[in-house]
Amino acid sequence: MDVSQTIYQTPSILSADGLVGLVFLVMVAVTILGAYVASTAERVVRAVSGLVICFVGVAGIYYFLNSPFMSMMQILIYVGAVCVTISFAIMLAAPEEKKKTTPANILSGPLGFIVAALIFGCMTGLALKTEWQSYPKSGSGSVRDIGISLLTTNSMVFELISIILLIAIIGAVVIARDGRSS
Amino acid sequence: MSLTLLNAAVAVFIAICFVGLNAAYLVWCERKGAGFYQRRPGPMENGPWGLLQPPIDGVKLMTKQLLIPGGVDKAIFMVAPVLAMFPALISFVTIPFSKNIVAHPINVGVLMIFAFAALGGMSLLVAGWGSRNKYAMISSVRAVSQTVAYEIPMLITTITIVLVSGSLNLSEIAASQLGGFWKWNIWGFQEAVGYNILMPISFLIIFVCAVAETNRAPFDLGEAESELVAGFHTEYSSMGFGLFFMGEYANIVIGACLVTILFLGGWSSPVPLGFFPFTDHVGWFLLKIYMIIFVFIWIRWTFPRTTIYGLLNLSWKYLIPISLFNLLLTAALLKVF
């Protein structure tokens, strides 16, 4: 399907499409809000909470894109594992000290803004210029389909994830080997 | 799609009513149960058998002042109780009460329940941290480590069920157990698989984890009154406390529903006869979940609280290895037969 030739009309807000679009916008707003909180919060726990909100928003977008498995995995792994791990790190770390506020370099603001704008521009350009091909929907999203596609079409991803997990496990064993005595 | 806006609204309304009523009256059940096990009558003043106690408690909670102690992290303090209630509520969307009574039979229902349970764990952390109270903080550290510890064996063991029934859809898992009590997953008789001797072990692990995940005694170290005042909700008054309480009981109902669907055949009747009391019906489902909740109450008032080390040891040193072997052997059994 050629995207550029499809004529998009703004649907009425009360029609099914309009409501679905509204849900999408809400999810995008939640994601951006979470990201904003996560990046600007002064307290670490608030930043983690922002991250949770952001991940839930992203999961909502996945669900909107008709991929409930991805969306649930997003919450299960990112909120249930990553954010909880971060909060464990916070608990194990030394208590928060008074924030040392040194005046930032006068250039850091504008420079950061320029870099962010450049990245945003490049990504937008890429997204608009690429000729997107609609990927065939792989099965109904059942466990069987996911398993088959993980072990055939996407076996590379599967192997890479296995290696990452192996490294993580070995790292954990190495760190924990000394025990509590040290 | 037959799901119109009106249907959705009705489903949400019914779900909220179900959760609210359950949360209110399970408190009553719990008190009556506690009374029974401690040889005292329990609530009996308001209404017949104290049945008016829950609404009166609700009015009391709602009319009390919502205190926000000085120096708390206000935004986080306010969000935490909502975050405790919301995942419990949303999980009911995917739970099939019978063949037709299910709001949205999402393909990955099992995952959805676990995902939102993880979100509930975050609420405890945030509540304890936001309260600016040492007891609350200690309690939230405990609660989070407990949630993480028991989520792992629970997920691993759930995979055995997914292997056996080949689906993550709760409706399909329940439907695969229809036709008599001997077909329920807890016994492990499957026509395709033969006799799977490990299923009772899976059931036991999931049951223990369900008790621990919902922070029930003997695993309620998060709110150990004798050492931590009231745990993570020490600083909460009024409806903030009420929401935590409702969230807890809603989670208990979800845990019972999960155990029922995964192992006890969901809405299937124990005897496969066609006439009225024995047809597969939502009544069987409700009967099963309330029996499981009764066992929860029974356990709570019979066993003393463990220590935090006992709790974590049970999970990391026993349940996780056992559930890993269980998964391996189940997969092997499936391959052999």
The answer, yes or no, to whether residue A82 has pLDDT greater than 90, is: no
Considering only CB atoms, which chain A residues are within 8 Å of B121? 80, 84
The answer, yes or no, to whether residue A3 has pLDDT greater than 60, is: no
Write down the mean pLDDT value for chain A: 80
Q: Do B111 and A140 touch (CB under 8 A)?
A: no
Contact between B232 and B69 under an 8 Å Cβ cutoff? The reply is no
Of residues A2 and B237, which shows the higher confidence score?
B237
The answer, yes or no, to whether residue B182 has pLDDT greater than 80, is: no
Prediction ipTM score: 0.77
The answer, yes or no, to whether residue A96 has pLDDT greater than 80, is: no
Paired with B189 in beta bridges are B195
Could you say which of B79, B115, B126 has the minimum Cβ distance to residue A80? Answer: B115
Domain ranges of chain B: 69-336
Question: Best interface-test mutation with A: which of B111, B151, B309, B316 has the largest number of A CBs within 10 A?
Answer: B111
Q: How far apart are CA B63 and CA A37, in angstroms?
A: 33
Cα B182 to the center of its chain, rounded Å: 25
User: SS3 for A133?
Assistant: coil
Residue A115: pLDDT band with limits 50, 70, 90: very high
Q: What is the pLDDT of residue A6?
A: 52
B143: nearest Cα among B255, B52, B232, B206: B232
Q: Do A72 and B112 touch (CB under 8 A)?
A: yes
Cα nearest neighbour of A90 on chain B: B141
Q: Do B168 and A56 touch (CB under 8 A)?
A: no
Q: Do B125 and A80 touch (CB under 8 A)?
A: no
Q: How far apart are CA B10 and CA A178, in angstroms?
A: 58
Q: Do B73 and A43 touch (CB under 8 A)?
A: yes
Q: What is the pLDDT of residue B190?
A: 65
CA dihedral B324, B326, B331, B332 (to 10 degrees): 110
Cα nearest neighbour of A63 on chain B: B106
Closest CA–CA distance from residue A81 to any residue of chain B (Å): 8
Considering only CB atoms, which chain B residues are within 8 Å of A147? none
Reported as a single tens digit per residue, the pLDDT across B94-126 is 888 877 777 777 778 888 888 888 888 788 888
The answer, yes or no, to whether residue A62 has pLDDT greater than 60, is: yes
> Which of B138-147, B176-185, B309-318 has the lowest average pLDDT?
B176-185
Q: Do A79 and B115 touch (CB under 8 A)?
A: yes
Buried b (16+ CB within 10 A) or exposed e, A80-108: beebbebbeebeeeeeeeeeeeeeeeeee
Q: Do B116 and A143 touch (CB under 8 A)?
A: no
Q: What is the pLDDT of residue B1?
A: 43
Considering only CB atoms, which chain B residues are within 8 Å of A83? 122
A49: nearest Cα among B150, B246, B77, B234: B77
Choose the most confident range, by mean pLDDT, from A7-11, A50-54, B234-238: A50-54
Q: What is the pLDDT of residue A1?
A: 43
- Copy the structure tokens of residue B58: 């609700």
Q: What is the pLDDT of residue A31?
A: 92
CATH class entry, domain A1-93: mainly alpha
Rounded alpha-carbon distances, angstroms, from residue B17 to A88, B23, B25, B91, B99:
36, 10, 12, 14, 21
Packed helices B109-130 and A44-64: angle between N→C axes, nearest 10 degrees = 160
The answer, yes or no, to whether residue B264 has pLDDT greater than 70, is: yes
Packed helices B238-263 and B5-37: angle between N→C axes, nearest 10 degrees = 90
B21: nearest Cα among B63, B50, B54: B54
Measured CB to CB, residues of chain B less than 8 Å from chain A are 5, 73, 75-76, 79, 106-108, 111-112, 114-119, 121-122, 125-126, 129-130, 141, 144-145, 147-148, 151, 162, 166-169
Q: Do B168 and A143 touch (CB under 8 A)?
A: yes
Q: Do B115 and A49 touch (CB under 8 A)?
A: no
Helix (H) or strand (E) holding B195: strand B194-195
Cα nearest neighbour of B172 on chain A: A142
Contact between B313 and B147 under an 8 Å Cβ cutoff? The reply is no
Q: What is the pLDDT of residue B303?
A: 86
B22: nearest Cα among B197, B272, B246: B246
Summarize the confidence of residues A111-135 as an average pLDDT: 88
Could you say which of B106, B114, B121 has the minimum Cβ distance to residue A84? Answer: B121
* Percentage of chain B lying above the pLDDT 70 cut: 94
Q: How far apart are CA B238 and CA B64, in angstroms?
A: 5
Q: What is the pLDDT of residue A65?
A: 80
Backbone angles phi, psi at B194, to 5 degrees: 90, -155
Paired with B296 in beta bridges are none
Considering only CB atoms, which chain B residues are within 8 Å of A75? 115-116, 118-119
The answer, yes or no, to whether residue A122 has pLDDT greater than 90, is: yes
User: SS3 for B189?
Assistant: strand
Residue B62: pLDDT band with limits 50, 70, 90: confident
- Copy the structure tokens of residue B281: 């019906």
Place of tokens 């509930």: B120
The answer, yes or no, to whether residue B157 has pLDDT greater than 80, is: yes
Q: What is the pLDDT of residue B236?
A: 83
The answer, yes or no, to whether residue B335 has pLDDT greater than 60, is: yes
Domain ranges of chain A: 1-93, 141-182
Chains A and B: how many Cβ contacts under 8 Å? 80
Measured CB to CB, residues of chain A less than 8 Å from chain B are 19, 43, 45-46, 49, 52, 56, 59, 68-69, 72-73, 75-76, 79-81, 83-84, 87-88, 91, 140-144
Place of tokens 């000394």: A178
Considering only CB atoms, which chain A residues are within 8 Å of B308? none
The answer, yes or no, to whether residue B6 has pLDDT greater than 60, is: yes
Q: How far apart are CA A38 and CA A16, in angstroms?
A: 33
Could you say which of B107, B144, B162 has the minimum Cβ distance to residue A68? Answer: B107
CA dihedral A112, A113, A115, A120 (to 10 degrees): 140
Question: Best interface-test mutation with A: which of B6, B77, B122 has the largest number of A CBs within 10 A?
Answer: B122
> Which of B192-206, B250-264, B321-335 has the lowest average pLDDT?
B192-206
B178: nearest Cα among B324, B79, B281: B281
The answer, yes or no, to whether residue A142 has pLDDT greater than 70, is: no
Contact between B203 and B322 under an 8 Å Cβ cutoff? The reply is no
Of residues B310 and A115, which shows the higher confidence score?
A115
Cα nearest neighbour of B144 on chain A: A84
> Phi-psi category of B216—alpha, beta or left, where left has phi over 0 and alpha has psi -120 to 50?
beta
The answer, yes or no, to whether residue A42 has pLDDT greater than 50, is: yes
Write down the mean pLDDT value for chain B: 82
Backbone angles phi, psi at B195, to 5 degrees: -90, 120
Reported as a single tens digit per residue, the pLDDT across B183-238 is 777 777 766 556 677 788 888 999 998 888 887 777 777 677 677 777 777 778 77
Give this prediction's pTM: 0.81
Reported as a single tens digit per residue, the pLDDT across B124-144 is 888 887 788 888 888 888 888
Cα nearest neighbour of A71 on chain B: B112
Q: How far apart are CA B331 and CA B190, in angstroms?
A: 14
